[in-house]
Amino acid sequence: MATVYLSGSFIPHAEARLSIDDRAALFADGVYEVIRCQNGKPFALARHAGRLRESLRGTDIAQPAGFFEGLPALIGALLEKNGLQDAKIYLQISRGAAPRNHVYPAAMAPSVLLTADPIAPYNAAAPVKTLSAITAEDTRWARCCWKTLMLLPNALARTAADRAGCGEALFVRAEPGPLRVTEGSATNAWAVIGGVLRTHPATPWILPGITRQTLLEEAAAAGIALEERAFTPEELAAASECFVSGTITGVAAITAVDGKPIGSGQTGPVTQALYGRLAARVARECA
C-alpha cells in the first residue's frame, strides 16, 4: 500500500484525510509543486523549492516551520517508504483548516501533503512523444506565475483536448496586448518560427516552468537561436516545429494543432535535440 506524508506523519494512502474545513477543499486555497526523481534523487530541487517559496509568498500562506530545511530528507524518506527510485513527487501546501469564511484567520497552521508515484525515467534513446493539440481561450487569472490549486480552467481545457482526441490544449489570450499563445494547460509551449525558437516570456501570465528554465539554458548551450517572445496562433500555424515541456511531460512534440499539421507533422530537429539534452541533463544531475 502506498505511503503518503501528511502534516508531520507518514501514513497509508487509504488512511490520509484532510479536514472538510481545510481551505484547499473550500477555496482551492493552496499551492503545489511536482518534482521528478530519478535514481532516488530529485531533479532541480532548489529551483522547485524557490518557486514554491514564491507561490507561498504571493498567496500569503505561511511557510511551515523547518519545512524547506528538511525537504531533501523528507523526499528521501518518502521514496524509501514507497520503494521507489524513479518517481514523481506531488507536494501540496494549503492554508489549513478554519470555519468557512472568505476572510482567513491571521495565524493558521498550513496543511502539508506529499505523495510519490512511479514514473519512467528519461531515456534519450527513446522516441520523442508526439501529441496533437487544440487551442483554448485562456480564462485564467492574472497570477499564473504562482503554482496554485486553482486549476479548473486547466482541467476544462485538458478535458476538452482529450475529448477531441488530443493530448494538450494550448491557451490563447487576447488581453492585455495582442492575441497570443501563452502556454499549455499543464505545460509551457514552444515553437520554431523563421528558424528561431520562441516561448512566451516569464510574465505573470505563465508559470515559470522548471523544465522551461532548463531548456532555455540547454538551447543557449547548443547555440540554438532563441527568443523569449510570445507568438500568435497564426505564427504557430506557420511554424516549422512546436513542442511543450514540463516536469512530467519532459519534451513532447506537437505535430498538429486544431487538426492542422505543424511543419512536416513530425518531430523536428530542434525538438529532438532539446529532448536529448534534457534527458542527458537529468541523468547527469541525478547520477
For the annotated catalytic residues, the residue numbers are 147
Can you give the length of the chain in residues? 287
Distance CA 99, CA 60 (A): 18
For residue 245, CA distances in Å to 31, 56, 66, 226, 251 come to 20, 24, 31, 16, 5
Would you say 162 and 186 are in contact if contact means Cβ atoms under 8 Å apart?
A: no
Q: Using the Cα atoms of residue 104, residue 106, residue 109 and residue 110 in order, give the sign of their dihedral.
A: positive
DSSP readout, 43-80? TTHHHHHHHHHHHHHHHTPPPPTTHHHHHHHHHHHHHH
Distance CA 127, CA 98 (A): 49
The DSSP symbol for 122 reads P
